Amino acid sequence: MSFVKVMNKKICLLACLLAFSCFAGYAQADASDARLYELYPTQNIYTFLKLNTKTGQISQLQYSISANDDRMELNVNSTAFIDESLSEEGRFKLYPTQNIYNFLLLDTLTGRVWQVQWSSNDANRGIIGEIESNPST
């Protein structure tokens, strides 16, 4: 075999190894980005939603720049959708809607989706319902 062919094979092998190591490094960094809790801003400047990304539990956080009495954490959904030991961090995600009080909760493993509503009024706060898939489509 000529020297040029040997060098071409070595360069090709090196390029493949570098490309593979880049993909492996990206996948590893992506997996470590999952967090147990994530904060999601609402359109109300004093209100955030705190999501347990492993169980789907959600609480509403309110902060204040003046009175301590205005700082609070309220349950939106205190019931876990899945046993924490059977789940993984990053499983659940929240997505805002055009309605400032409503978010969609997505189970990224099963595809199930729930409509979530936050409010300072306890009667208006919680899981509104699951968005059922239409089997005819």
pLDDT per position as a tens digit, 120-137: 999 999 999 999 988 765
| Distance from C-alpha of 41 to C-alpha of 35, rounded to nearest angstrom | 16
- Residue 26 is predicted with a pLDDT of 44
Query: Are residues 61 and 95 both part of a single domain?
Result: yes
pTM above 0.85, yes or no: no
Query: Are residues 48 and 8 both part of a single domain?
Result: no
**Mind listing the pLDDT tens digit for each residue in 78-95?**
999 988 888 999 999 999
Query: Are residues 53 and 70 both part of a single domain?
Result: yes
Domain count, the chain: 2
User: Strand, helix or coil at 9?
Assistant: helix
**Mind listing the pLDDT tens digit for each residue in 2-11?**
655 555 665 5
Half-sphere exposure of 28 (CA within 13 A, CB side): 6
- Residue 7 is predicted with a pLDDT of 52
Query: Are residues 10 and 27 both part of a single domain?
Result: yes
- Write out the residue range of the structural domain in which residue 108 sits: 37-131
Is 119 within 8 Å of 105 (Cβ atoms)?
no
The one-character DSSP state at 65 is: S
Query: Are residues 25 and 43 both part of a single domain?
Result: no
Q: Report the chain's mean pLDDT, rounded to a whole number.
A: 84
